[in-house]
Structure 1
């Protein structure tokens, strides 16, 4: 007998999952376009009211262009529908506002569309090399034969020593061709693009665990210690028993290893310094350069969900008064016994008058204070102090006390490093106008450099000559920062929206 019945059931189950349902139907293209325009790697969540208005604007714009859109709906109705279809997730932000974020199913669907819309070679040398290296490494670890493992290690050592000796003797260093580098870029972008959905699946698993534990605690059908034991067991199972959990654990190890993280940053910079990177668009460069940021943000979201779950358990344990609950249970049982005794003689329609609230006690008392004419006198008139009030600050004075001028600083950085007459950020700062040389502007320049990963260790320091709003001059010792051509290009496309909140 063939396996067609089982295979048909598995395919039907896959087609009914939210990932493929998002890409199916008449309005699939509209939904994917809205999600790609609204969410990005730097904008993972949007306030609910803002997304409603944004979807309304998309509907109006498409209607003006003659594009067919879902009829008789608005942004709020569509967002509620997408939440029910498990494409959007609605949650409370730290400021108690309601925000939307994409589910792991929606992220997988967007990654699939992104891969299909990008020109790439399905079978490439870099992809095959990755497979061969992975198989070789796991074969070495999986081999139970000690001699076989020794032979494998010896062969690798001889191969590496031969290559080292050849290079030490003046051998030619074969640089990767542009075609090989482009294949590597495509493979790397695919791997980085899969990270957000992996982390989102871990976050959703923790959220499901949170909801189940809340339900168990509210039902009170199980002891609190049993709920805690199940939570600890599932927490360990989530990290070690699922692929996304193991990926989360590996990312956690990566972020705790400063040397490994620095090596990743340096290797990414070496890859982007290759001449073949010039053909990549700014979006791809930003995605490769932000690999560490993707891992860090995914870790932050998962840990936030775990903190919420831990806070729920702590709050229940602290506020759970077992003695008081036993007293209440004793009273309810006593009432039940009296009710059973009363029902032995009472008829089916017998009623008992019962006040929902106890009657108010009427207690007589003496007057504690007698009437005082002074207490009824009006307060003295207020003094007129308008002439003594200081002049309000001007708009320019308020602006000089505010945060960094990110737009002006980015324009100055791009222009200076494009002309090539400035080689460090410190020299640029010392030549800026007085209004852009406040101490806070130094933080703005470092923030812009961090957005393109231009901060590097071991570059030395230089002096930033800052001028405060009152004219006082102060010198600050800051790490030396320089921008490459690729970083200047990436800086032009960096979104500064919400930067003041970061």
Structure 2
């Protein structure tokens, strides 16, 4: 057998991965252009609404240039489709907002496009030297024979001593040529470009572990101790046996060594100080300068994901009551389990009809209480209360509680003005008899004066009306000053003779 069947299966599995599906098809270049324009090393996540608007802008720019784009597709629809195809990841940011970020498959595809777009030799001295140095270093680490390791270390020491003595004896030191440096830059950027996808794979593995543990806790088919043991075992297996886990573990050890991080940062500055660095693209220079940031950010994202997983386990252990086996709790957990299963295949606008309340039970009328003869008895007869009847009010009391005495007020006003000639309304009122100085009589006086169109009302000034209640209490009221004369008395008298109530 030639093994072609097995190769066909492996090729089919590789082509079915999201990495190659992103590059495949009519819109592969469109997807790569949009994702590379939206995301970068500095812009690792974008808010959901912002990315929808950004993709709409890209669509408009391409249409303006006559470039064919997916028809009848908006930024929201495209982003939702990319999430479903595992090219975008949608999650909550630390501030609670919903954000998009690239998956490890998308990062691998974009790195592949980036590498293919660079002009470089596939086989070079720097690359072979890097391979030889790496093989030599790991061969030393792999050797379990103490004498063999000592021999290897002595050989390296002799090589370094010879080079040191040559330089110390006046030997020349020539900087690497531009071609050699450019090739070294390309090899270095290849290695650095693989870091984000490696970190993202660790983060996604943590997320899958998180979902599996939540599913196990909701099912309650196993005790919490078994779930914790599996979590610790899976975490150790992830960091020790998978390539991305080993990369993260090495990066984490690197972050703990401050001197090594400073050395890395200084060496990158030396590399960028070479004249050959001027030929690099601005994006490549940014990637080289951000190497330490990429390592720190990738490690921080993985640690944050692991912290969320540990927090979920802690909250479940603290809040879980092993004795709470009520029927309602089991029903709710079953509903939540079915909902999570439905969400794995449901689209963004899928709907399901859910009855918020159960249907009303159809039962006959139930008597709420038995017949009570006392409830049907007539009320007792009313008691005679002739002795408790109060004395009826007199006419004077009713009059004192009634409205203003317009006729008496008009007559008193005419007499006062005829006698004095000129006076204000308050002066006339304050000189009236007690029975005409009730507070309500002020309203009657103002009502009478409202018919005098030529009455002199002073602007901004008031005067006091000292009223007397029927019970003898005195009250003072303020009203606009109104200057009256005998002319007004004549008008009031003429109106009274004609039977007009308002002058």
TM-score range, shorter chain: 0.5 to 0.7
1:9 aligns with 2:9: yes
Cα–Cα, structure 1 residues 145 and 55, in superposed 2: closer, same or farther, change >3 Å?
A: same
C-alpha distance after superposition, 1:201-247 (max 9, x if no partner): 00000000000111111111111111111100001011101000000
**1:331–1:188 Cα change, 3 Å:** closer
Moved more, 138-147 or 227-236: 138-147
User: Following the alignment from structure 1 to structure 2, what is the Cα–Cα distance between the partners of residues 93 and 50?
Assistant: 14
Shift of 1:146: 3.1
CA-CA distance at 1:312 after TM superposition: 0.7
Q: Does 1:207 align with 2:212?
A: no
Which residues of 2 match residues 466-481 of structure 1 at below 5 A? none
Matches within 5 A, 1:277-426: 277-323=277-323, 325-326=324-325, 328=326
> What is the CA–CA distance in structure 1 between the aligned matches of 2:308 and 2:63, rounded to whole Å?
42
Partner SS for 1:287: helix
The alpha carbon displacement at 1:140 in A equals 1.7
Q: CA deviation at 1:311?
A: 1.0
Question: Is 1:254 the counterpart of 2:263 in the alignment?
Answer: no
CA distance in 1, matches of 2:302, 2:191: 20
How far did residue 353 of structure 1 move?
A: 8.2
Q: Per the alignment, do residues 159 and 71 of structure 1 end up closer, same or farther by CA in structure 2, a change over 3 Å counting?
A: same
CA distance in 2, matches of 1:97, 1:21: 29
C-alpha separation between the residues in 2 aligned to 1:69 and 1:175? 49
Distance 2:67 2:39 in 1: 22
Do the aligned partners of residues 182 and 331 (structure 1) sit closer, same or farther apart at CA in structure 2, a change above 3 Å counting?
A: closer
Per-residue deviation, residues 5-41 of structure 1 (Å, max 9, x unmatched): 0110000110010000000000101100000010000
Query: What does residue 403 of structure 1 align with?
Result: none
Corresponding position of 1:43: 43
Q: How far is the alpha carbon of 1:148 from its aligned partner?
A: 2.7
Report the CA distance between 1:107 and its aligned residue: 0.4
Q: 2:29 aligns to what?
A: 29
Change (3 A) 1:354 1:136: farther
The verdict on how the C-alpha distance between 1:154 and 1:11 changes in structure 2, with shifts beyond 3 A counting, is: same
Query: 2 CA distance for matches of 1:244 and 1:330?
Result: 43
Structure with bigger gyration radius: 2
CA distance 1:130–1:220, change in 2 (3 Å): same
TM-score, normalising length: structure 2: 0.64
Larger deviation: 267-276 or 149-158? 149-158
Shift of 1:329: 6.9
Displacement of 1:248: 0.3
| 2:105 corresponds to 1:140 | no
Separation in 2, partners of 1:257, 1:141: 20
Q: Deviations over 1:416-461 (max 9, x none)?
A: xxxxxxxxxxxxxxxxxxxxxxxxxxxxxxxxxxxxxxxxxxxxxx
Q: 1:417-456 alignment to 2 at 5 Å?
A: none
Q: Which runs of 5+ in 2 are unaligned?
A: 331-359, 369-503
Pairwise CA RMSD? 2.1
Task: Give the Cα separation in 1 of the matches to 2:64 and 2:285.
Answer: 34
**Residues 138-177 of structure 1: pairs in structure 2 closer than 5 A:** 138-177=138-177
Q: Which residue of 2 aligns with 1:115?
A: 115
Task: Please show how residues 229-248 of structure 1 align to structure 2 within 5 Å.
Answer: 229-248=229-248
Residue 68 of structure 1 is matched in structure 2 by 68
Q: 1:79 — aligned with what?
A: 79
Q: Specify the SS of the correspondent of 2:316.
A: helix
Q: Distance in 2 between matches of 1:147 and 1:254?
A: 29
The superposition leaves residues 106-136 of structure 1 with CA deviations (integer Å, 9 ceiling, x where unpaired) of 0000000011111111111111111000111
* Number of positions where the alignment pairs a residue of Structure 1 with one of Structure 2: 336
Aligned partner of 1:185 in structure 2 is 185
Task: Could you list the structure 1 runs, at least 4 aligned residues long, displaced by more than 6 angstroms after superposition.
Answer: 329-332, 351-355
CA distance in 2, matches of 1:352, 1:69: 56
Return the alpha-carbon distance in structure 2 between the equivalents of residues 29 and 131 of structure 1: 33
- How far 1:2 sits from its partner (Å)? 1.1
Deviates more, 1:57-66 or 1:194-203: 57-66
What's the secondary structure of 2:122's corresponding residue? coil
Q: 1:394 corresponds to which residue?
A: none
Aligned-partner SS, 1:89: strand
Rounded to whole Å, the distance in 2 between the matches of 1:68 and 1:303 is: 42
Question: Where do 5+ consecutive residues of structure 1 fail to align?
Answer: 333-350, 360-502
1-side partners of 2:75 and 2:175: how far apart?
A: 52
